[in-house]
Amino acid sequence: MEKEIKIITKNWGQINPNQIADYIAVGGYISLEKFIKEMTPALALEEIKLSGLCGRGGAGFPTGMKLESVQKEKSKEKYFICNLDESEPGTYKDRSIVDCDPHMLLEGIIIEALIVGACKAFIYVNGNYQKQIAILERVVGQAQEKNFLGEKILGSKYNLEIEIFVGAGAYICGEETALINSIEGNRGEPKLRPPFPTQVGLFGKPTAVNNAETIANIPWIIARGGKKYATIGSKKSPGTKLFIINGSVKNPAVFEAPLGTKLSTLIDEYAGGVQKGKEFWFAQVGGSSGRLVLKKDLNMKLEYDREAKVSLGSGAILVIDKTVDIHELLLSWMSFFRRESCGKCVPCREGTFRLWEIAKRLQDGEISERDVIAIKDILWTLNNTTFCPLGKFAATAFGDAINNFQKEIYRLSK
Ligand SMILES: Cc1cc2nc3c(=O)[nH]c(=O)nc-3n(C[C@H](O)[C@H](O)[C@H](O)COP(=O)(O)O)c2cc1C
Ligand code: SF4
């Protein structure tokens, strides 16, 4: 196994996550203190830019660039949002951060909010995460008592309020403009961009939205410097990543590995390999919206690279063995996307529903020639005409399955 580097998980299992004293005893809130006493927002931003950190919410957008856009906006009212919606099936990394080291996340939120000049930060939490909501409420209270939050933080000129906003658990509300709509009390559906949230975001004010895992890297970067962070992981996307490995592996769990680690290493060495008596068929990388990777491509490096064929997405990896029924998989993907399509645009609202109907017929062995033609049309429509990326997401795995396993998919149908 490659040299173990722990940034996000370094305290997992070592401290009591409910005790702020435990976090402080292992160097917690030192980065916030350093930011307040020795740095300016501009200097801290420089460190984040040097680190090469990019977003762990799926798109891999450079974090420094996003923060800079908001920092340079002149508005007196700005917002910072921690995205903890995490509705991607098979993804539980952000939830694990809250379970195991919530103060690290909170410290990152406070620093990022102060860097951009936010008057208020929100933690947008998935409504199904009741246990994590209670943890977050507790740790926000503890941080307030220590004056890491609130008025004149640690005797400085900085003030910050944090609100925990509980979403309804809709997949689309993880998309940042839908999330903003949801906090504003509007329907949880995406908005047209531009303008981007960094200019016109929450309540029409400049807003930075970051994924919880992205934010959890910030205390490390501020404490040790961006240059050091940039030496970890891959050149294209430095740092580590939380990978959630599920399915037919011996040890399904969340693992922290340097970006650039090979998919085969993650499956064989981190997750203990394929379960005894089972044979690897393919892996789905990036959650339910992820692409299917065959055995011949297992040597691929996992990193954020806009040119890569396979996007990392949330970092969820589902390992499928040869006993799995492909028809059941198709139906489960489409049941999800049909349910989660927000309904704003016709191609996605209708397309996901039609593909779900066809997936049911495939499972029942009732596929017709017309369905085979319709599949191609619907996949094209989802890929090319929908309002937001969810449409494309819905077509990704289904399209890969049709391209790679045509024989298996159509053979069993009458
Ligand atoms: C359909 C859809 C669902 C998304 N769900 C999430 C989510 O649950 N959590 C998340 O952090 N980002 C999610 N995103 C990405 C966000 O829109 C946004 O890019 C991200 O929160 C930015 O943070 P980052 O730069 O730290 O990755 C989703 C995007 C789309 C299109
Ligand atoms: S693509 Fe789907 S989720 Fe996105 S706006 Fe259209 S209907 Fe809503």
The pLDDT tens digits for 290-330 are 999 999 999 999 999 888 888 999 999 999 999 999 999 99
What CA–CA distance (Å, rounded) separates 278 from 96?
28
- pLDDT confidence of residue 224: 97
- pTM for the complete prediction? 0.97
pLDDT digits 0-9 by tens, 264-284:
999 999 999 999 999 999 999
Q: Is 344 in the pocket of ligand 2 (CB under 6 A)?
A: yes
The answer to whether the CB of 345 is under 6 A from ligand 2 is yes
Nearest-angstrom CA–CA distance, 334 and 340? 10
Domain ranges of the chain: 20-230, 240-321, 326-411
By percentage, how much of the chain surpasses pLDDT 90?
Answer: 92
Average pLDDT over residues 67-76: 97
Is residue 174 in contact with ligand 1, taking CB distance under 6 Å?
Answer: yes
Q: What is the mean pLDDT of residues 188-194?
A: 96
For position 393, what pLDDT does the model report?
96
Across the range 179-204, mean pLDDT stands at: 97
62 within ligand 1 shell (Cβ under 6 A): no
Residue bearing the CA closest to ligand 2, atom 6: 345
Contacts 24+ apart (CB under 8 A), 182-188: 182/124, 183/81, 183/122, 183/124, 187/342, 188/342
The CATH class for the domain spanning 20-230 reads: alpha beta
Please give the pLDDT value at position 306.
83
Rounded Cα gap, residues 218 and 29, in angstroms: 11
- Give the C-alpha separation, 145 to 99, whole Å: 21
Question: What average pLDDT is seen over the chain?
Answer: 95
The residue among 310 and 352 whose pLDDT is bigger is 352
Q: Return the residue matching tokens 């539980």.
A: 92
**Any idea which ligand is nearest the CA of 171?**
1
Mean pLDDT, residues 246-263: 97
Q: What angle do CA 155, 102, 158 make, to 5 degrees?
A: 20
pLDDT at 412 over 60: no
Mean pLDDT for 164-168 is 96
Q: 414 pLDDT band (50/70/90 cuts)?
A: very low
pLDDT at 229 over 60: yes
Give the mean pLDDT of 5-32.
97
pLDDT digits (tens, 9 = 90+) for 280-289: 999 999 998 8
Q: Considering only CA atoms, which residue is closest to atom 14 of ligand 1?
A: 175
pLDDT at 92 exceeding the cut of 50: yes
The CATH architecture assigned to 240-321 reads Roll (3.10)
User: Which of 65, 86, 175, 393 has most ligand 1 atoms within 8 Å of CB, for mutation?
Assistant: 175
Say which range, 120-124, 305-309, 341-345, 395-399, has the weakest mean pLDDT: 305-309
Distance 136 CA to ligand 2 centre (A): 30
Give 114 Cα–ligand 2 centroid separation in angstroms.
33
3-class DSSP string for the chain:
CCCCCCCCCCCCCCCCCCCHHHHHHCCCCHHHHHHHHHCCHHHHHHHHHHHCCECCCCCCCEHHHHHHHHHCCCCCCCEEEEEECCCCCCCCHHHHHHHHCHHHHHHHHHHHHHHHCCCEEEEEECCCCHHHHHHHHHHHHHHHHCCCCECCHHHCCCCEEEEEEECCCCHHHHCHHHHHHHHCCCCCCCCCCCCCCCCCCHHHCCEEEEEHHHHHCHHHHHHHCHHHHHCCECCCCECEEEEEEEECECCCEEEEEECCCEHHHHHHHHCCCECCCCCEEEEEECHHHCEEEEHHHCCCECCCCCCCCCCCCCCEEEEEECCCCHHHHHHHHHHHHHHHCCCCCHHHHHHHHHHHHHHHHHHCCCCCHHHHHHHHHHHHHHHHHCCCHHHHHHHHHHHHHHHHCHHHHHHCCC
Q: What is the mean pLDDT of residues 19-46?
A: 98
The arrangement of secondary structure in 326-411, i.e. its CATH architecture, is Up-down Bundle (1.20)
Q: What is the mean pLDDT of residues 330-356?
A: 97
What's the confidence (pLDDT) of residue 308? 83
**Comparing C-alpha atoms, which of 190, 301, 287, 195 is closest to residue 244?**
287
Q: What is the pLDDT of residues 177-186, one digit of tens each?
A: 999 999 999 9
Question: Stretch 22-39: mean pLDDT, rounded?
Answer: 98
